[in-house]
Copies of this chain bind each other. A is one copy, B any other.
Amino acid sequence: MVRWEPGAPERLQKAALELFATRGFEQTTAAEIAEAVGLTERTFFRHFSDKREALFHGQQVLVDSFLDGVTAAPPSAAPLEVVATALRSASAFFPAERRAHSRLRQSVIDRNPALQERERHKLTTLATTVAAALRARGVDELAATLAAESGVTVFGISFIRWLREDEDRSLADITDEVFAALLKLAGEVPPARR
């Protein structure tokens, strides 16, 4: 007779998403989420530092795939090239099968400012981490920060488009396109300003 089933964080996370999607984030209580999987509120907060984290837990894999991409880039690559590599690497973590789930999750986030805030915070953390990895490659701080932030911006925009589109273009294709659009914008600035 087990007192607790294994995988408490995952079960809580799943229940949280379902409840958030149906009742809404604010209308869902941490105690309710816990109760839905046979646990108590106290235990919920042992697994998640706060209620929002139930939606953001497990993002480390995304960070790692970015870092893998940074590592995989050839040593001679310019900072933004490294970032482009990281973008492709990260895109691999969002195959087409995941779109439905990502869409549901995103719809919850889009309906709540507090969750948008947290999402943005996670992206910022990601940018900071990527910037550090770039510096470790010898890129100077300003270039590293700019390149990392730009990469995360491209990723964020691409991800939204990936969820929005009807066709099944891969996320990698979209990041390529958005990345190219960024370079094009830069190229349109007259040399007088550069």
Contacts and interface: CB of A to CB of B under 8 A. Distances in A.
Interface residues of A, number: 37
Contact of A116 (B121, B182, B188, B193): B121
Interface of A: 78-81, 84, 113, 116-118, 120-121, 124, 142-143, 145-147, 149-150, 153-154, 156-157, 178, 180-190, 193-194
Q: Summarize A's interface: helix, strand, loop or mixed.
A: helix
A119 to B, nearest CB: 9
A181 to B, nearest CB: 5
Contacts of A146: 153-154, 157, 178, 181-182, 185
A98 B118 CA distance: 29
A194 B184 contact: yes
Contact of A81 (B124, B182, B190): B190
B117 A80 contact: no
A182 B193 contact: no
Given A142-B178, A146-B157, 4 more contacts: A78-B188, A80-B186, A81-B189, A146-B181
A149 B142 contact: no
Contacts of A189: 78, 80-81, 84, 183
Contact of A117 (B78, B117, B185, B186): B117
